[in-house]
């Protein structure tokens, strides 16, 4: 903590020193534009919103080079993104509230007001974005069951009144290349029907080296397109149709499990877990595949009824992802544990004879297919006197199929396994046949009703009260064939049902003693639905001594108290925000991987979190912007079936974060401007599992952007992780390490027309 505080003091000293140096210039400059947000489902100045909000405007998105969720998450205090085995499983931790594989998210994500119903679709390229808002603390009363840690509101660029467009191309290390284009304008002469279309392409050979295959472990290709039609035949109503398609082609499962003696395959069992190991190499013998397809279509109607606006939002989403790759312990065949110890994975069954194929290694395949349909109906009143209100209802239907499995691997490649396992009755040990296979389908229906009322007693004092009731009915059917069931009590075709429900109230009091100072405080409750692990896993986990994991995991309830202040001075050129919070979480998630069935599962524990954020921003001159922020979270496990973990740090908790940076925008003459931006990020000590087997040391990262821009074009050189800091993005129980991105750099050209 002392080291972190020293870092914070140093950053604040630099920022405040620069502010003092340039203070006389403020009086000579123009007032900055006020930022408008939709944190409470209506347009409001950010200074008036009694919520902790981080906002990235279109200009900030371009200046900071924000192109994916990892980019803006890295700039938000007390927020981290964990990128893991496959693109669909990346997840957010915010103020200690974490997500896990195959779980409901820790934040609600809305794109143009439409809730993302599948967490597998979150991590995608961000192109043609107008604004990003990050709301902290339980927002379930307004945004639903998964807003237990907060909400992320992403707004795409609106269709324009006249023909316009933008294009961007770039190249970089890793033999990377990207191209983006967007066009917009009216379709009819009256300008009542407008369109905006954008395309994105990104391709790279990869950045992380596979020492065994002598090639990059992480080639990545992304194709995406977005189409938006906005029809406004009159001032009374409008229709907004949006469609998105995204295809990712990459690899998966290039985990690292260190050995203190590489020549001994069984050293994997005796090597102490170490989240800071960056010397062990990626050396899986199969490159693997990870293909994800996302299709989303949404239609929003707005009807102005005079007393208020009636909004109807319909959404369809289909997300599929297939992953293949090496299995434990992610080594070349002859040095793997499975090859050298068949009984370790076959149990009492005899190992295959030479005629049956001889020694073997393991590979794995995982498939998920999720389809959702959702409908929201909401009425937002006009302000009458000092009172305004919102009321509505929401429904979502989810159809989900998941299969996970291990296969024999003798170097002949890895087949993708979907709904049906690969078997060979004549030779159960045949190449590419399944050794394990678990599959389940789910048919879920969730609905909610909600209301929010805001009353302004005076211009200084306002009370906001909201409540939402959610009910989530889940039905899980075991699709695993009988011969692959890990639990003798389980049955193929078995149907399990469970209903999770909760009320999510929220109350906030706002006081504005002056126009440039806002004080607020309140209490809120968040709800995140429970669900089903794959059938039979609970018995396997209990038999191996892993307590707290069952076939069913419970819903999480989190209650948060928060107080904060927002301040703006010198015509918004100096800003200072502070927030303090305390959260009590019941049945929060933790992750458990079962190697014998290759399944990813969730358990429950209780935890408490407390901390805060401090943010400072300054427009020191017309050509110099400064910012710094600090986030601190302390947490401990208060209850779990395994009593030995009580008092430990909750899983995926990051103790503190620090961000600081500056941007110079200097006229060069001839209509040209020079731009220089430096961003510093510190990710504090991070714990990964309830047993606190290991923790990752603090990480310091730098990003740099420099370029020249004119009215219509720009050229920018950039680098992320400028100092090439080597660290692990994740540690997973079992000793699994996922290597973070090394240094990336490149140059890009942008043009607006």
Give the pLDDT confidence of 433-461 residue by residue, as tens digits: 999 999 999 999 999 999 999 999 999 99
- Nearest Cα neighbor of 185 from 156, 166, 160, 167 is 160
The pLDDT assigned to 10 comes to: 46
Tell me whether strands 164-172 and 114-115 are parallel, antiparallel or unpaired. Answer: unpaired
Give DSSP secondary structure letters for 653-683: -B-EEEEEEEEEEEEEETTEEEEEEEEEEEE
Q: Which CATH number fits domain 2-752: 3.40.30.10, 2.40.170.20, 1.10.10.10, 3.40.50.10490?
A: 2.40.170.20
pLDDT of 710 above 90: yes
What per-residue confidence (pLDDT) applies to 606? 97
- DSSP for residue 420: S
pLDDT band at residue 290 using 50, 70 and 90 as cut-offs: very high
pLDDT of 595 over the 80 cut: no
Task: Tell me if the pTM is above 0.85.
Answer: yes
pLDDT tens digit string along 181-216? 999 999 999 899 999 999 999 999 999 999 999 999
3-state secondary structure of 305: coil
Stretch among 8-17, 469-478, 579-588 having the lowest mean pLDDT? 8-17
Residue 265: what pLDDT?
92
Question: What's the average model confidence in pLDDT over 391-415?
Answer: 93
pLDDT given at position 31 = 52
Whole-number Å distance between alpha carbons of 225 and 165: 15
How far is Cα 356 from Cα 350, in angstroms, rounded to an integer? 11
pLDDT at 648 over 90: yes
Q: Answer whether residue 658 shows pLDDT above 90.
A: yes
List, for residues 520-556, the tens digit of each pLDDT value.
Answer: 999 999 999 998 887 777 888 887 788 888 888 999 9
Q: What's the confidence (pLDDT) of residue 602?
A: 85
CB of 567 closer than 8 Å to CB of 600: no
pLDDT of residue 573: 93
Task: Tell me what the mean pLDDT of segment 403-412 comes to.
Answer: 90
Identify the CA nearest to 589 among candidates 546, 650, 634. 650
Domain boundaries, the chain: 2-752
527 or 29: which leads in pLDDT: 527
Q: Does 123 or 51 have the greater pLDDT score? A: 51
Position 83 pLDDT exceeds 90? no
Mean pLDDT of the chain: 90
Confidence of residue 598 (pLDDT cuts 50, 70, 90): low
The predicted-structure confidence for 150-184, as pLDDT tens digits, reads as follows 999 999 999 999 999 999 999 999 999 999 999 99
Range in 81-85, 505-509, 724-728 with the lowest mean pLDDT: 81-85
Between residues 144 and 671, which one has the greater pLDDT? 671
CB 92 within 8 A of CB 81: yes
For 266-360, strand residue ranges (E) read 289-304, 308-326
């Amino acid at each position: 903590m002392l080291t972190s505080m020293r870092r914070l003091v140093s950053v604040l000293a630099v920022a405040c020193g620069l502010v003092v140096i340039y203070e006389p210039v403020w009086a000579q400059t123009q007032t900055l534009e006020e930022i408008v947000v939709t944190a409470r489902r209506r347009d409001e100045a950010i200074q008036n919103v009694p919520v902790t909000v981080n906002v990235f405007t279109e200009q900030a998105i371009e200046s900071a080079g924000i192109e994916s969720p990892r980019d803006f998450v890295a700039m938000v205090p007390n927020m981290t993104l964990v990128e893991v085995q496959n693109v669909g499983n990346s997840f957010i931790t915010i103020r200690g509230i974490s997500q896990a594989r195959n779980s409901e998210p820790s934040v609600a994500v809305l794109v143009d007001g439409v809730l993302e119903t599948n967490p597998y679709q979150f991590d995608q390229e961000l192109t043609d974005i107008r604004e990003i808002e990050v709301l902290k603390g339980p927002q379930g009363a307004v945004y639903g069951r998964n807003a237990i840690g907060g909400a992320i509101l992403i707004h795409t660029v609106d269709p324009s009144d006249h023909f316009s467009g933008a294009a961007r191309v770039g190249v970089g290390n890793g033999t990377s290349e990207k191209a983006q284009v967007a066009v917009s304008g009216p379709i009819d002469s009256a300008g009542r029907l407008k369109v905006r279309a954008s395309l994105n392409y990104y391709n790279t050979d990869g950045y992380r080296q596979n020492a065994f295959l002598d090639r990059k472990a992480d080639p990545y290709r992304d194709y995406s397109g977005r189409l938006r039609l906005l029809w406004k035949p009159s001032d009374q109503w409008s229709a907004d149709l949006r469609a998105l398609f995204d295809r990712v082609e990459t690899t998966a499962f290039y985990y690292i499990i260190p050995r203190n003696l590489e020549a001994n395959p069984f050293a994997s069992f005796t090597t102490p877990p170490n989240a800071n190991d960056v010397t062990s190499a990626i050396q899986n013998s199969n490159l693997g595949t990870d293909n994800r397809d996302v299709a989303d279509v949404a239609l929003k109607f707005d009807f102005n009824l005079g007393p208020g606006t009636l909004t109807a939002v319909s959404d369809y989403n289909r997300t599929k992802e297939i992953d293949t790759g090496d299995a434990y312990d992610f080594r070349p065949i002859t040095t793997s544990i499975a090859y050298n110890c068949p009984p370790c994975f076959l149990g009492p069954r005899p190992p295959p004879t030479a005629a049956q194929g001889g020694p073997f290694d393991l590979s794995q395949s995982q498939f998920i297919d999720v389809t959702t349909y959702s409908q929201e109906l909401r009425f937002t009143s006009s302000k009458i006197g000092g009172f305004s209100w919102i009321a509505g209802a929401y429904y979502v239907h989810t159809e989900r199929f998941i299969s996970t499995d291990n296969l024999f691997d003798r170097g002949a490649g890895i087949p993708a396994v979907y709904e049906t396992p690969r078997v060979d009755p004549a030779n159960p040990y045949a190449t590419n046949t399944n050794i394990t296979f678990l599959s389940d389908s789910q048919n879920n229906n969730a609905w909610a009703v909600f209301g929010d009322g805001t009353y302004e007693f005076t211009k200084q004092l306002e009370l906001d009260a909201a409540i939402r009731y959610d009910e989530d009915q889940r039905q899980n059917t075991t699709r695993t064939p009988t011969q692959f069931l890990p639990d003798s009590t389980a049955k193929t075709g078995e149907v399990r049902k469970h209903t999770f429900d909760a009320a999510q109230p929220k109350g906030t009091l706002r006081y504005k003693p002056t126009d440039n100072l806002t004080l607020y405080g309140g209490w809120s409750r968040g709800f995140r639905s429970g669900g089903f692990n794959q059938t039979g896993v609970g018995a396997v986990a209990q038999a191996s001594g892993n307590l707290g994991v069952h076939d069913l995991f419970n819903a999480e309830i989190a209650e948060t108290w928060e107080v904060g202040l927002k301040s703006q001075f010198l015509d918004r050129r100096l800003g200072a925000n502070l927030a303090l919070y305390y959260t009590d979480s019941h049945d929060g998630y933790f992750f458990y991987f079962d190697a014998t069935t290759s399944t990813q599962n969730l358990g429950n524990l209780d935890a408490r979190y407390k901390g805060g954020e401090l943010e400072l921003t300054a427009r020191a001159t017309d050509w110099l912007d400064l910012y710094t922020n600090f986030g601190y979270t302390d947490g401990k496990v208060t209850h779990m079936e395994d009593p030995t973990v009580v008092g430990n740090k909750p899983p995926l908790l990051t103790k503190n974060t620090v961000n600081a940076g500056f941007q110079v925008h200097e006229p060069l003459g001839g209509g040209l401007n020079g731009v220089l931006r430096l961003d510093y990020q510190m990710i504090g000590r991070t714990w990964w599992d309830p047993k606190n087997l290991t923790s990752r040391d603090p990480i310091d990262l730098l990003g740099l952007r420099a370029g020249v821009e004119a009215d219509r074009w720009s050229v920018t050189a950039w680098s992320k992780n400028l100092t090439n800091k080597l660290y692990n993005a994740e540690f997973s129980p079992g000793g699994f390490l996922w290597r973070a991105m090394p240094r990336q750099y490149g140059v890009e050209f942008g043009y607006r027309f």
